[in-house]
């Protein structure tokens, strides 16, 4: 069973640079990085929320896909009503069949290590039900 979860970093939108620097520092020893996406069609796929950009990373070894984006969009709309949350981390943990299978516990540890590396307090905002659309 795949898992999709959204966490919120308790910070302000202006903390983007500090947050992403901390997350990039976590990824560096793993030879990974977050990519900044400004692609128009990718941004349009997030409508009704209007973003200038978002960050993403796919770790195939761990079968974990991540996105980081602001809680408040360019039009002032909040994705989650918790206004203490400046940035959101979306995580998709994938339960693949061998030889690509990675235990869910290993994926969750990886995710929590990333969250803890941010230097910001974080809260679980939403866990999608099996089969629920994002």
- Going residue by residue through the chain, which has 134 residues, state the pLDDT in tens, using 9 for 90 and above: 689 999 999 999 999 999 999 999 999 999 999 999 999 999 999 999 999 999 999 999 999 999 999 999 999 999 999 999 999 999 999 888 888 789 999 999 999 999 999 999 999 999 999 878 88
Q: Which two tokens stand for residue 31?
A: 């030879």
Q: What is the pLDDT of residue 107?
A: 95
Domain spans of the chain, in order of start: 3-127
Q: From 96, 37, 42, select the one nearest 64 (Cα to Cα).
A: 96
Look at the domain 3-127 and name its fold. Answer: Double Stranded RNA Binding Domain (3.30.160)
90: helix, strand or coil: strand
Cβ burial, residue 27 (10 Å; 0-12/13-18/19+):
middle
Host H or E run for residue 22: helix 16-27
Mutual orientation of helices 16-27 and 104-117 as an angle, nearest 10°? 130
Q: What is the pLDDT of residue 2?
A: 85
């Amino acid at each position: 069973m795949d898992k999709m979860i959204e966490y919120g970093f308790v910070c302000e939108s202006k903390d983007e640079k500090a947050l992403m620097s901390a997350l990039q520092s976590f990824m560096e020893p793993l030879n990974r990085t977050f990519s900044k996406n400004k692609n128009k069609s990718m941004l349009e796929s997030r409508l009704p929320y209007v973003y200038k950009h978002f960050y993403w990373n796919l770790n195939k070894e761990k079968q974990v896909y991540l996105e980081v984006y602001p809680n408040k969009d360019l039009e002032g709309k909040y994705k989650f009503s918790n206004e203490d949350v400046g940035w959101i981390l979306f995580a998709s943990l994938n339960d693949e069949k061998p030889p690509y299978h990675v235990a869910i516990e290993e994926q969750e540890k990886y995710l929590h290590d990333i969250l803890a590396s941010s230097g910001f307090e974080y809260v679980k905002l939403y866990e999608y039900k099996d089969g629920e659309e994002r």
